[in-house]
Each structure stands twice: as structure tokens, then as C-alpha cells.
């Protein structure tokens, strides 16, 4: 899997923060729940996940739902997720929607533990985030 | 196979809506925590039925269960529109019980509230995917609309082909900025209002009748 790690070993246990850059090709072969599990398992370990192609709206909806079921006091308080606004995606029109093509393509998405990643600035074409150690 | 299934599902959804005109439309009131969703739901319910939907509070996640007020009949321009209002918990991607400790809450109560809040958000997402026919998306005009929750939820609503109205609430506040909201979501109609003060409710009801009637 295309992956970048810190020089400290990259297992998430050291002083650094592990970042997984997951290609669109790798995600394409997974079911919705496999994608969500892959993301949440990494994030619960304190890692930051960057998805090249993002998730479909339905998958985002399920990600929120599953995240909520996993929140527990003093252990996991949820996720921070950032993508560019969907209004900037090209409108695919009725035919595209009828054929089930969802607007996930090329929507770079950053996901991390809520207590470690903080969005500093976001607008139509820039996301600036601060990542802290565990 | 997948393509045919998607096509069939889309056609079924469209025909279901076309032939379900006799049933009251279920309109979900969605938005982030503390946008004034319950205040709006109560305002609409009190104006047309005399009853409230649920308690309001400045503490986030006061609404932790979706609440439905059935058969709200709204009269506009000689026409009566009947809707069910579904007031939903504020959607978020994180809930930390420590946030509630700042509101003079004991730890046990804060943990209980956070657990209920997470269940409520999950429930709200389920309603959005399965059980609403239209959405009123409520935003606080005095806060930045460019948040991930807003971006994702509007995307999810659009992917479901649900009619949506954006309500820029709390225009009575000094730092309210309705244009910032309409600029953030130019593809949808934005209606300014103050649910608390009852400002611009005539236009609110006109738009509800137009979009969901």
C-alpha cells in the first residue's frame, strides 16, 4: 500500500505521527464497510489517513454512523475529517445519478483522531490542519 | 448488474415519490449542534398545531433522539400543505463528554449525555438515508458555514436527491452573516430567519409550501 511514515519507526507508538496515504486504486477494490473499517482501525490507533479518492456520500454517512457507535469516554472521542466542499465538484446531472455514479472521485480526504488533528483553515481550495502527537 | 440495479433503484425512488402525494411528507430538520433546529421545530409546531416538539437549550446535544411531529398543516396562498416534522440531533463527527463539564455538569451526567448524543447522531444519519422525503438544513448565521459536517451532510442530501432548503437562522444576532451561508452553498436556496424571535417566518412557510407541498 502506498504509505508514508515518520522516521521514528512509523508504528504510531513513537514520538511521531503515522500518516497512511491510501491510493484510489486500493480503495476501489474494497466494500463500503471494509473502507470504513480500514479508516477507523487506523484512526483509533492514532494514525492520520489520507485518501486519494475520498468516499462516496453514502460511505461518508455510514462512516459518521459507525464512528458514533465506537466513541467511548476517555478512549476515543471521534474523528476529524476534511475534504473540499462538494459544491466544487462538477455537477454530473440526472443521467449520472440514474446510473449510480457518485461524486467521490478525486476528493482528497484527510481523516484523523479528533483529539489529534485540528483544522486551522478551510475554504474552497485549501485545507490547513495542525496534527499533534498522542 | 450493478448498473441495472442502480437504475432500477433510482426509478423506484422517483416513482415512489410521484405516487406518494397523499401521504404527509416527512421533512427532516438537520444541521450541526446548536444551530437552532429544535427552536425552529417548536416555532413551526406551535404556529400550526399549538404544541412544542421538544426542549431547547444552549448546551450542545440537548436533542438526542429524533422527534417527529405528525400532520403539521401549513396554509399558504389558499393551499394547505401537510408535513411531518422530524427534529433530529445535531450531526457531528466527534463527541467528547469533557465538553459538557464546561456546562456545570457532573462527570457521570456528562458521560451519559455523550453516550446518548452519539446514539442520536447515528439515528439521525439513519433517518437521512432511509426515512425523510425532504430536508430543512439549519445553520447558525453567526458561525462559519465552511465546516466538514456541513459539506458532508449537504453532499449526502444531494446524493439522495432530496429537496433541500437552507435556513440561515439566528439573524437577530449582531454578527449574523447570511451572505456567507448563501455563498457557501450557492446551489441551494437560502432563507434568512430567526426562529427564536419569529423573524421572517412568512417567507419560511412560503418556501416550505413551495418545496415540500
Residue among B96, B122, B128 minimizing CB distance to A68: B122
The torsion region of residue A9 among left (phi > 0), alpha (psi -120 to 50) and beta comes to left
Q: Are B204 and B167 in contact (CB under 8 A)?
A: yes
Tell whether A82 is covered by a domain: yes
Tell whether A90 is covered by a domain: yes
Whole-prediction pTM value?
A: 0.83
Domain that holds residue A35: 19-131
Is A109 within 8 Å of chain B by CB?
no
- Cβ–Cβ gap A123/B146 under 8 Å: yes
Residues of A in contact with B96 (CB under 8 A): 77-78, 114-115
Total number of domains constituting chain B: 1
- Cβ–Cβ gap A71/B152 under 8 Å: no
CATH number at residue B30: 3.40.50.300
Q: Give B99→chain A minimum CA distance, Å.
A: 11
Handedness of CA B193, B138, B27, B120 (dihedral sign): negative
Total number of domains constituting chain A: 1
Residues of A in contact with B30 (CB under 8 A): none
CB-based contacts of B18, cutoff 8 Å, min separation 6:
none
CATH number at residue A73: 3.30.950
Per-residue pLDDT of chain B (213 residues; tens, 9 = 90+): 455 666 566 555 555 554 455 688 999 999 999 999 999 999 999 999 988 888 888 888 888 888 899 999 999 888 889 999 999 999 999 999 998 998 888 999 999 999 999 999 999 999 999 899 999 999 999 999 988 899 899 999 999 999 999 999 999 999 999 999 999 999 999 999 999 999 999 999 999 999 998
Tell whether A9 is covered by a domain: no
Amino acid at each position: 500500500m502506498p504509505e508514508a511514515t515518520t522516521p521514528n519507526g512509523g508504528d504510531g507508538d513513537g514520538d511521531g505521527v503515522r500518516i497512511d496515504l491510501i491510493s484510489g486504486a486500493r480503495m476501489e477494490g474494497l466494500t463500503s464497510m471494509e473502507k470504513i473499517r480500514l479508516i477507523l482501525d487506523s484512526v483509533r490507533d492514532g494514525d492520520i489517513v489520507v485518501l486519494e479518492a475520498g468516499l462516496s456520500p453514502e460511505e461518508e454517512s455510514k462512516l459518521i454512523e459507525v464512528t458514533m457507535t465506537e466513541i467511548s469516554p476517555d478512549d476515543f472521542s471521534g474523528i476529524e475529517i476534511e475534504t473540499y466542499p462538494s459544491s466544487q465538484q462538477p455537477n454530473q446531472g440526472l443521467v449520472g445519478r440514474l446510473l449510480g455514479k457518485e461524486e467521490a472521485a478525486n476528493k482528497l480526504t484527510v481523516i484523523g483522531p479528533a483529539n489529534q488533528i485540528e483544522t486551522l483553515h478551510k475554504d474552497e481550495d485549501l485545507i490547513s490542519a495542525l496534527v499533534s502527537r498522542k | 448488474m450493478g448498473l441495472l440495479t442502480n437504475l432500477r433503484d433510482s426509478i423506484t425512488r422517483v416513482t415512489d415519490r410521484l405516487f406518494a402525494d397523499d401521504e404527509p411528507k416527512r421533512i427532516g430538520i438537520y444541521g450541526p449542534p446548536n444551530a437552532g433546529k429544535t427552536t425552529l421545530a417548536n416555532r413551526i409546531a406551535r404556529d400550526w398545531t399549538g404544541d412544542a416538539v421538544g426542549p431547547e437549550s444552549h448546551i450542545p446535544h440537548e436533542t438526542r433522539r429524533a422527534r417527529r411531529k405528525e400532520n403539521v398543516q401549513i396554509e399558504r396562498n389558499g393551499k394547505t400543505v401537510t408535513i411531518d416534522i422530524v427534529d433530529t440531533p445535531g450531526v457531528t463527527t466527534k463527541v467528547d463528554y469533557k465538553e459538557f463539564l464546561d456546562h456545570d455538569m457532573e462527570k457521570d451526567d456528562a458521560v451519559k449525555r455523550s453516550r446518548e448524543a452519539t446514539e442520536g447522531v447515528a439515528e439521525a444519519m439513519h433517518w437521512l438515508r432511509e426515512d425523510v422525503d425532504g430536508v430543512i438544513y439549519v445553520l447558525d448565521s453567526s458561525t462559519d458555514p465552511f465546516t466538514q459536517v456541513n459539506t458532508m451532510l449537504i453532499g449526502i442530501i444531494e446524493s439522495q436527491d432530496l429537496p433541500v432548503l437552507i435556513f440561515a437562522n439566528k439573524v437577530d444576532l449582531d454578527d449574523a452573516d447570511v451572505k456567507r451561508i448563501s455563498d457557501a452553498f450557492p446551489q441551494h436556496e437560502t432563507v434568512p430567519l430567526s426562529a427564536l424571535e419569529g423573524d421572517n417566518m412568512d417567507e419560511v412557510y412560503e418556501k416550505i409550501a413551495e418545496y415540500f407541498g
